[in-house]
Amino acid sequence: MIQIKNLHKKFGRLTVLDGLDLEIDKGGVFAILGPNGSGKTTLIKCLLGMVIPNKGSIFIDNQSILKKWNYRNNLNYLPQIANFPTNLSVKELINMVKNLRPKKANEKELIGLFGLKPFLNKKLRNLSGGTKQKVNLVLTFMFDSELIILDEPTTGLDPIALIHLKKQIQKEKENGKTILITTHIMSVVDEIADEIVFLLDGKIYFKGSVDALKKQTKQNNLEHAIAELMM
């Protein structure tokens, strides 16, 4: 589904992506991991068209996406930090986003799943960080798209909401969706990821299953296996 070839990106003298090559097949959960400054966020922003690479190409479904926007209609994105207009209520925000996207939305089931019914008429300024993240999740999953990008989706979630999130990701996977996820919670990766893509200094140091990584690093624990890659 995604083909990235020889991707380079510099910010001034700082090289963030250094000739990155990556292919991701359609369907499944792919965890993009790496320490701070490894290039994860820049890679995601290149996929979203928010950052233009200095060199290289990106294809989604065999179509180049560089300097284009149409492909975003078939992409859902959850940003790490949800910056919502604080004067809107939850219901007003959901309706506004529904009006902006030319797709049918399925928000009612998700509102129930994440327990947001009591908050629908509350202003976003009055919500806790965890509740805002639940709103963020509803906005992300309420449209039917083939590619879903989740940047630190577990931030601020209570244990029950986290269980519902993992079930929702599994549901999307079973429907043939391709899900890219960045997270620092290795237990989530261990549980839901089909493949890991590990970045370091703008290059891919590992791509494969969780079991393959553990076997390669001779570690039984995923956190220790990731640490071994960084040594």
CA-closest candidate to residue 192, choices 215, 174, 216, 214: 174
Domain range enclosing 177: 2-230
* pLDDT tens digits, one per residue of 69-101: 889 989 999 998 878 899 999 999 999 999 998
Could you report the per-residue pLDDT of 4-28, keeping only the tens digit for each? Answer: 999 999 999 999 999 999 999 999 9
Average pLDDT over residues 44-62: 94
Determine the average pLDDT of the residues in 189-194. 95
Please say if the pLDDT value at position 229 is more than 90: no
pTM recorded for the entire structure: 0.94
Residues 6+ apart with CB under 8 A from 103: 73, 143, 144, 145
Least confident piece of the model among 32-36, 37-41, 78-82, 204-208: 78-82
In which order are the strands placed within the sheet that holds 14-24?
14-24, 2-11, 55-60, 63-64
Q: How many domains does the chain have?
A: 1
Model confidence over 146-185: pLDDT tens digits? 999 999 999 999 999 999 999 999 999 999 999 999 998 9
Q: How far is CA 155 from the centre of its chain?
A: 12
- At residue 36, the pLDDT reads 86
The answer, yes or no, to whether residue 114 has pLDDT greater than 90, is yes
The secondary structure of 21-85, three-state, reads EEEECCCEEEEEECCCCCCHHHHHHHHHCCCCCCEEEEEECCEECCCCCHHHHHEEEECCCCCCC
pLDDT of 230: 85
Beta bridge partners of 24: 2
Residue 203: CATH number of its domain: 3.40.50.300
pLDDT confidence tier of residue 51, bands split at 50, 70 and 90 = very high
Is-contact 211 193, C-beta < 8 A? no
| Percentage of residues in the chain having pLDDT higher than 70 | 100
Query: Alpha-carbon distance 56 to 49, whole Å?
Result: 13
pLDDT score at 10: 95
